[in-house]
Chain A
């Protein structure tokens, strides 16, 4: 048991030196989401009622497959950062917070791998 106050314990340690970078990353990813999600919406709009063969045929274009992969990565990255902010705001128990942060990483990573695998499989021909 220490007699030091919480303020006394952290005083003089300085910041973690990564706050500004994290803040900037959130904004840059959010900005990237604007054109990329617009592309995604147009892609879906243009493939309404399309057959599977037509979708796969358009996916052979590396620009289409590349933009689609980039949009999924940007969206999932933004989701991961956003959910992290929500968890850190509302979950104060250390164990529960860490568990949810790991689940957040796992969830977005699994969706990302599934999406990229599907895009590449279609682009390289299935």
Chain B
């Protein structure tokens, strides 16, 4: 039998030593935002149920959403929803077999992140215009 000598071959990259890349972080973020929305939808169903049930239930829900803490939660919810939606559009584009070019991938990841922040701020400006 031949002797097995340890060679200095490169090992497959492992998560802890992998240099974080934007596309990789965006992929993780897509899943994290999806999981967050999974539980955040409770707030939407609560609001609808409260409106259907009674004035006192509705007032309680509205006082939560009008409170500074509720507003922070809703702001986070808005960004999470928009980020996941834009990420979803990217995935649907990839599903058609398009957009796998390294330049396009990087560009789409940046557009997703920037777009989610811009659209969230615009939506909240629109919300304040409605409230005023």
- Residue positions of A touching B, CB distance < 8 A: 27, 30-31, 33-34, 37, 40-41, 45-46, 48-49, 52, 55-56, 72, 75-76, 79, 82-83, 86, 111, 114-115, 117-119, 121-122, 126
Within 8 A of A (CB), among B36-66: 37-38, 41-42, 44-45, 48-49, 51-53, 55, 58
Docked CA distance A117–B123 (Å): 29
Interface residues of B (CB under 8 A from A): 31, 34-35, 37-38, 41-42, 44-45, 48-49, 51-53, 55, 58, 81, 85, 88-89, 91-92, 95, 123, 126-127, 130-131
Contact yes or no, B92 A83, CB < 8 A: no
Question: How many angstroms from the CA of A27 to the CA of B85 in the assembled complex?
Answer: 13
Cβ-defined contact, A122 with B52, below 8 A: yes
Which A-B residue pairs are the 4 nearest by beta carbons?
A118-B52, A118-B48, A121-B52, A52-B58
Chain A contacts for B51, CB-based, 8 A: 52, 55-56, 118, 122
Report the separation of the CA atoms of residues A46 and B127 in the bound assembly, to the nearest whole angstrom.
8
> Which residues of the other chain, A, contact B91 by a CB distance below 8 angstroms?
30
* A75 B88 Cβ-Cβ under 8 A: no
Interface of A is mostly: helix
Q: Are A49 and B88 in contact (CB under 8 A)?
A: no
Whether B131 contacts A30 by the Cβ 8 Å rule is: no
Q: How far is the CA of A86 from the CA of B30 in the complex (A)?
A: 12
On chain A, the residues within 8 Å of B45 by CB distance are 72, 111, 114-115, 118
Q: Please, how many angstroms separate the alpha-carbon atoms of A31 and B93 in the complex? A: 11
15 contacts between A and B (CB under 8 A): A30-B91, A37-B81, A37-B85, A48-B130, A55-B51, A72-B45, A72-B48, A76-B41, A79-B38, A79-B41, A82-B35, A115-B48, A117-B52, A118-B45, A122-B51
